[in-house]
């Protein structure tokens, strides 16, 4: 007997793959990368569950597309470099499951 999607445990990646994104051309998160230059830990790179922060030649590159709107980056940033707003109405992630 085959199990339906609701009958079995889904991994985090499987759950996320069910979600939809309405991408806004304007980012709801602004990162002051000048401040990032003083940051030793670069913890955003490791803390963002969507892997939207990356290091390129020692500099932080951020792309808001795919943001899960969890707010983790703002909380963990030790230097207050992240200005986090809610996405504009209708934009952002539309959770489908869990
Ligand atoms: S943790 Fe904050 S200050 Fe450090 S690199 Fe990331 S955004 Fe910049
Ligand atoms: S709000 Fe969450 S998913 Fe979005 S960039 Fe910050 S840590 Fe990543």
Does residue 93's CB lie within 6 angstroms of at least one atom of ligand 2?
A: no
| Pocket test residue of 75, 82, 83 for ligand 1, highest count of atoms within 8 A of CB | 82
CA of residue 9 to ligand 1 center, whole Å: 34
Q: Considering only CA atoms, which residue is closest to atom 2 of ligand 1?
A: 77
- pLDDT, tens digit, 9 for 90 and up, residues 55-67: 999 999 999 998 9
Summarised one tens digit per residue, pLDDT across range 34-55 is: 999 999 999 999 999 999 999 9
| Number of residues written out for the chain | 98
Distant-in-sequence, close-in-space partners of 78: CB < 8 Å, separation ≥ 6: 39, 41, 43
29 CB near ligand 1 (under 6 Å): no
Does pLDDT of 2 surpass 50?
no
Rounded to an integer, the average pLDDT of 17-43 is 91
* Residue pointed to by tokens 């959770």: 95
Closest ligand to the CA of 86: 2
Query: Is 36 near ligand 1, meaning CB less than 6 Å away?
Result: yes
> 20: which 2 tokens?
């939809």
Considering the four listed CATH numbers 2.40.40.20, 3.30.70.20, 3.40.190.10, 3.10.50.40, the one that applies to the domain covering 26-94 is: 3.30.70.20
Taking all residues of the chain, what is their mean pLDDT, rounded to a whole number?
87
């Amino acid at each position: 007997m085959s199990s339906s999607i609701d009958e079995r445990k889904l991994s985090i990646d499987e759950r996320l793959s069910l979600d939809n994104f309405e991408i806004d051309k304007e980012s709801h998160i602004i990162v002051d990368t000048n401040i990032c230059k003083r940051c030793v830990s670069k913890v955003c790179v490791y803390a963002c569950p969507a892997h939207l922060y990356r290091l390129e030649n020692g500099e932080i590159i951020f792309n808001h597309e795919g943001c899960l709107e969890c707010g983790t980056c703002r909380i963990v940033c030790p230097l207050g470099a992240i200005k986090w707003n809610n996405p504009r109405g209708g934009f952002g992630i539309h959770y489908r499951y869990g």
